[in-house]
Structure 1
Amino acid sequence: MMQRPFFTYHPAVQEAAQKALDLVKPALDRIDRVTEQNQQKVLAAFIDNRVSESHFAASTGYGYDDRGRDLLDRVFADALGAEDALVRTSFLSGTHTLGIALFGVLRPGDVMLSVTGLPYDTIHSVIGLRGEGQGSLKDFGVGYRQVDLMPDGSPDFDSIADALTSDVKMVYLQRSRGYSLRPTLSAKTIGEVAQFVKQRRPDVVVMLDNCYGEFVETVEPVELGVDLMAGSLIKNAGGGIAPTGGYIAGRSDLVELCSYRHTVPGVGREIGATLGHTRDLFMGLFHAPHVTGEALKTAAFAAALMQQLGYDVTPRPLEERYDIIQAIQLRDRDSLIAFCQGMQAGAPIDAFVTPEPWDMPGYDSQVIMAAGAFTLGASIELSADAPLREPWAVWMQGGLNFHSGKVGVMLAASHLMRALEKKAESSK
């Protein structure tokens, strides 16, 4: 029986896709092995903590004695290898969650030292690198310094040692690349930085922005010396099911301090109604290893496909991956826009919408985003975005399942190929 052709791909993309699948098979097999290990770890956390249906009950008002909320913290902590965790739908984004952790730990006169260069754009206002009088860390007397990565993207240990002055309270790392082409940091490398810092300053808090990195490897950075890490539940850790929220995980005393910033001192984690979302967060965590694996497969395929079509990609198809993001250098503004518009056309939601660059809050350049997602802004679902500036790269991530993710990537590439042909024809 002949299969119905649901989508029409550009012939060059159709041909390159099969070659890409053959090329990337070893990477897909490796991802499956990591996924299986992580799925067992999460399942064990559920079983060991005796999760039951009664823990899904909604709470209202103050949310005192919410058994499900409290157990969710414990299950998350165990799944991430941490002493403690704070998981809340009232963490509104990854940036909000990181901001709570920063304000929870840092005090006037402290210095935050970023050792992975300039953090992601939306954190700049939190630190006080831009904006005046908005209540940033800078407004509250917290200083900021940074050490850039080496040209190859590795930590500059000599400069870190020199920068560890007595006023440094926190060493901050960003695992993922943000809108740059530097490599993502592995858990091993992050652990080496943490140990290096602790050998020189045991009192310094090592904090990690772990967004996009959960369940990508079989070990999490808090198991290797990081004191505190945070991330979003509409990325890896929410499994495509959590409707919103974030988590903070790490040392118990630091998580407790963050809980006071989240609510108020003296109350902390003891209040906060869950309003019926607890089941979604438990279920999201349970699905997180598998969905993260599907996103990794989608990224590996995209790297192989776009490399076959002649584009530079990072990571390369067979490289080990330490987050779910795939960067593709598209060389010019029009190609960048065309790729994102093609990916939007392959989304389950709002496929009929044509994304355009716009002035997005928190960014210093216009940004284009393709994100036809069930949960608004959920980058564990297939999406692609980029600031409209050099090096004209797109950062693609997500994919709830590999089969639909593969279609989305092929449609994006096909739209790009047709746009290039149209441009070449019009220039004749």
Structure 2
Amino acid sequence: MDSSKLLQTAEQILLPIFSGIDAQVKQNLGRVLQAFRHHRVGVHHFAGVTGYGHDDLGRQVLDQVFAEVMGAEAAAVRVQFVSGTHAIACALFGVLRPGDEMLAVAGAPYDTLEEVIGLRGSGQGSLREFGIHYRQLDLTTAGTINWPALATAITDRTRLVLIQRSCGYSWRSSLAIADIEKIIHLVKKQNPDTVCFVDNCYGEFVADQEPSSVGADLLAGSLIKNPGGTIVAAGGYVAGRADLVEAATCRLTAPGIGSSGGATLDQNRLLFQGLFLAPQMVGEAMKGNYLVAQVFQQLGYPVNPLPTAPRGDVIQAIQLGSAEKLCGFCRAIQQSSPVGSYLDPVPAPMPGYDSQLVMAGGTFIDGSTAEFSADGPLRPPYIVFCQGGTHWTHVALALEAAIAAVETASN
């Protein structure tokens, strides 16, 4: 099959969708610019401090800008968060206390949260080891939220509801903002004091609102995903109610220090600039996702989301059906990457994951899934998850190699 012609056809089909994405990028960028203007961001905010990080004006203003962009009361953007999982864990440990219950409402959480919760591993201080109870509502057979079960699921001890926006490594649709709003409404109707916490990883700027704007009490994410705009070197964020943000930062630092500590290590300019670039980078990633879905559905593979379906995050899943195809696909993506194209991704254990993973990511920021990458757990039905992309045209070029690799593995 001529992959070049296949891609050209897919691009023509997707032109109206690409135009709609551009319109949304403009809207989201306007929101970011308004926050920059409102808080009078200037070059003096790019300077950072060392040591304890006290009285860092740039960090304080960035927190205010980020909170406004997220539609939240407060935010803490910190390079000391080593990952999205770390930011989420700080939020959970900051809010939950022994005897409380956490309820996951979108099925099983992402693999890296299993040891945080205590579903795997022991002796490392999981939520379960601190006497925090965990319960989850499984998805329906159609892969959707079990709305009837959720309507009666909240009890007096349900302190926090975990809403995972992204599909993670599961074959389900990611949650739209309307879904998150409905979840929050049903939870608050049963118990207004239950904290609605959103794992916002991969979802920032995909829609024209963020979960805080529809009632989420707290959210967290990674800066080497969407909101870092592909240039932030490390970090994460929490945003939401001011008291809950402070509680989360007290887990990051220490009680009594909270959000007042944390040196920015001369990263303020990149943090501001990454936020400015983020809407555009997310738009490019979404275009790449639509292209991946369109092409591989035409090749006969199950894809999720479908090529014309609305997006809840910047992840596109393809069910390849064999370990050989999964490894071949990832190898092709790695060879089409700007960094480390000579490397050969092979399945290997990864800290925090239950299965071996094969990961392709020749990215300028190590592990950045805002740049184009692909990975998947080595387990049936051998699904590859594509994320990010600074240019949809880069995704198109990489797809030509991926198509050839999958076809070779089929022979």
Identify the TM-score tier after normalising by the shorter chain: over 0.9
Q: Which amino acid aligns with 1:94?
A: G
Selected match of 1:74 from 64, 68, 75: 64
Q: Which amino acid aligns with 1:63?
A: G
Match of 2:338 in 1: 348
Q: What is the distance in 1 between the residues matched to 2:175 and 2:48?
A: 38
Match of 1:208 in 2: 198
Q: Provide TM-score, normalisation by structure 2.
A: 0.98
Is the 8 Å Cα contact of residues 342 and 416 (structure 1) preserved in structure 2?
Answer: no
Q: What is the distance in 1 between the residues matched to 2:397 and 2:220?
A: 31
| 1:374 Cα deviation after fit | 0.2
Selected match of 2:355 from 362, 365, 384: 365
Match of 1:154 in 2: 144
Q: Which amino acid aligns with 2:399?
A: V
Q: Secondary structure at the match of 2:51?
A: coil
The percentage of counterpart residues that share the same residue type is 48
Q: Which amino acid aligns with 2:361?
A: A
| 1:414 Cα deviation after fit | 2.1
| 1:153 Cα deviation after fit | 2.6
| 1:12 Cα deviation after fit | 2.3
| 1:36 Cα deviation after fit | 0.8
* CA displacement 1:319-373 (0-9 Å, x = unmatched): 1111000001111111111111011110000011111101111111111000000
Alignment of 1:23-422 (within 5 A): 23-420=13-410
Q: What is the distance in 1 between the residues matched to 2:205 and 2:198?
A: 15
Is the 8 Å Cα contact of residues 16 and 309 (structure 1) preserved in structure 2?
Answer: no
Specify every segment of 5 or more residues in structure 1 that has no aligned partner in the other structure, as ranges: 1-10
Is the 8 Å Cα contact of residues 236 and 380 (structure 1) preserved in structure 2?
Answer: yes
C-alpha root-mean-square deviation of aligned residues, in Å?
1.0
Is the 8 Å Cα contact of residues 325 and 405 (structure 2) preserved in structure 1?
Answer: no
Is the 8 Å Cα contact of residues 26 and 318 (structure 1) preserved in structure 2?
Answer: no
Q: What is the distance in 1 between the residues matched to 2:200 and 2:242?
A: 18
Structure 1 consecutive aligned stretches of length 4 or more whose deviation exceeds 4 Å? none
Q: Which amino acid aligns with 2:183?
A: V
Q: What is the distance in 1 between the residues matched to 2:300 and 2:26?
A: 33
Q: Which amino acid aligns with 1:109?
A: G
* CA displacement 1:7-51 (0-9 Å, x = unmatched): xxxx52112111111121222111111111001101111111100
| 1:224 Cα deviation after fit | 0.5
| 1:53 Cα deviation after fit | 0.5
Q: What is the distance in 2 between the residues matched to 1:179 and 1:268?
A: 32
| 1:64 Cα deviation after fit | 1.2
Q: Secondary structure at the match of 1:14?
A: helix
Q: Secondary structure at the match of 1:338?
A: helix
Q: Which amino acid aligns with 1:25?
A: L
Q: Provide TM-score, normalisation by structure 1.
A: 0.94
* CA displacement 1:381-405 (0-9 Å, x = unmatched): 1000000111111000111112212
Is the 8 Å Cα contact of residues 65 and 270 (structure 1) preserved in structure 2?
Answer: yes
Q: What is the distance in 2 between the residues matched to 1:152 and 1:38?
A: 32
Q: What is the distance in 1 between the residues matched to 2:142 and 2:406?
A: 30
Q: What is the distance in 1 between the residues matched to 2:200 and 2:373?
A: 19
Q: Secondary structure at the match of 1:368?
A: strand
Which has more radius of gyration?
Answer: 1
* CA displacement 1:171-227 (0-9 Å, x = unmatched): 111011111111100011101100111111000000010100000000111100111
Specify every segment of 5 or more residues in structure 2 that has no aligned partner in the other structure, as ranges: none
